[in-house]
Structure 1
Amino acid sequence: MKRLHIHLSVDNLEKNISFYSTLFGCEPTVKHDDYAKWMLDDPRVNFAISNRSQQLGLDHLGLQAENEQELAAIKQQLDATQAPVEAQQDAACCYARSDKYWITDPQGIAWESFHSLSEIPTFNDAKAVSDGENPFACRPAEKSTSSCCPSPTPENTDSSCCG
């Protein structure tokens, strides 16, 4: 069964962790200095917050698949919209390695569809960044409206984003 994914950019992570923990009636499933995530079953949602962006509010929405078959079915639905879809295989982001598809809705909101393969100890793949590979493996840089994932420049190559 798929899970709705919502990611918000917040200014004060601890204050927001306290607020959402009270709202959801539980502590985050994942918690880091810059990121927290609740994997809720009622409602069935993957709700994440981070303080890695200068732009506050909705960062992106998404659908989390439980397996490769669900992700393939979601990909067929994305293709049916006739909007451009960007694939990211084995992307390292938000303390997880995932296969992903990104699409932008008519309002310009980024939608991430993904299947998480494993947890990783870092927010993104630091090795890819140091090797000069795409440090924005989370969200397509050219579609980003968030300062979390701006187009790569020498000044922001240490930036990262999440899913």
Structure 2
Amino acid sequence: MSWWGELLVGIAIFVGLIGTVVQVLPGNILVGSAILVWAILTGGPGAWVVFGIAAAAIVAAEVGQWILAGKHMRRAEVPWTTLALAGIAGIVGFFVIPVVGLFLFFAGAIFLVELARRKDRRAAWEATKAALQATLITIGVQLLGGLFAAGTWVVGLFVT
């Protein structure tokens, strides 16, 4: 693969990592897809080993985020329906107040749904904090997987 092709793959990986943090783009899907394109165009066993390791890291991160965040939410006794409603509110908020609205509407919806369910402001606030912590756990685990995949690709650039 030419240097400019590798540069484009690197840019796509960088955008994917940003998407993982900002949660607007499907970050790790973009990272994995960019490395797949690189492996296809580069060819050879080394490129495919790099892609396999990167893909395994991304899959492990995706599974790990669900396990860790889910465990955190179960401990806080926040049901998945609350998160589903908050997710919908976050999507609406993203369009009402671009980017920032996603987080504001998500957190606000959790608080309101849990307030209606628990009838206690303090308990609703604790549930909101737990949901926001679970969101940070999710972002952190996804980012670690994406960074590991990106690092594997950088090593692959020198090996292949």
Instruction: State the TM-score bracket (shorter-chain normalisation).
Output: under 0.3
Scaled by the length of structure 2, the TM-score of the pair is: 0.22
More helix by share: 2
Q: Which one has more relative contact order, counting CA pairs under 8 Å at least 6 apart?
A: 2
Largest Rg, 1 or 2? 2
**Would you tell me which structure has more strand in proportion to its own residues?**
1
TM-score scaled by length of structure 1: 0.22
